Chain A
Amino acid sequence: DVKVTQSSRYLVKRTGEKVFLECVQDMDHENMFWYRQDPGLGLRLIYFSYDVKMKEKGDIPEGYSVSREKKERFSLILESASTNQTSMYLCASSLGPRARNTIYFGEGSWLTVV
């Protein structure tokens, strides 16, 4: 089975701190994604990556950056955390961009910014 592992399940950070959310997948997938999920808003795409060192902005990239130095690892960075970034963050991966490819999600990281 494909496994997508998010390094931290629950985090509490202070406003202005730099926050790293790490994600690792074990199936040599090309595509990786970061979403945030908020009540009433569904899943919103922050960034995705289609190859090592390649990235594209999603719907809500402001305040976030990403890094993909190795194929299996995709990191989400909050340069200066703010309270409106309190949310659940979901990492996902997919074999490739083809429509038939399944998307596999991690269990989520709950971030609270105080």
Chain B
Amino acid sequence: AQSVAQPEDQVNVAEGNPLTVKCTYSVSGNPYLFWYVQYPNRGLQFLLKYITGDNLVKGSYGFEAEFNKSQTSFHLKKPSALVSDSALYFCAVRDLMNTGFQKLVFGTGTRLLVSP
């Protein structure tokens, strides 16, 4: 089964500094990887995805992620953090079910706290 791991429960960064939220994956075959953000009491918002192509994927709100096959990582990055970026971030990978349907498997989430 496919899986992703987010090794950090929380990441703290000062506003204006670059941020990185880590994600590593374990898949058989080509990975389909995603990043989502969740604000308090809200559903998930899609940030970006990697299917194929360039290893550097650009997404919403200035976020980007770098796919690294040798390190099996898909870290989320932003050059300059904003206080409004403070939220819960989930990495996810596509998995195929026995039925042939697809589903997303989520990591445990990383809380990003950006201080003024």
| Pair from one complex | no
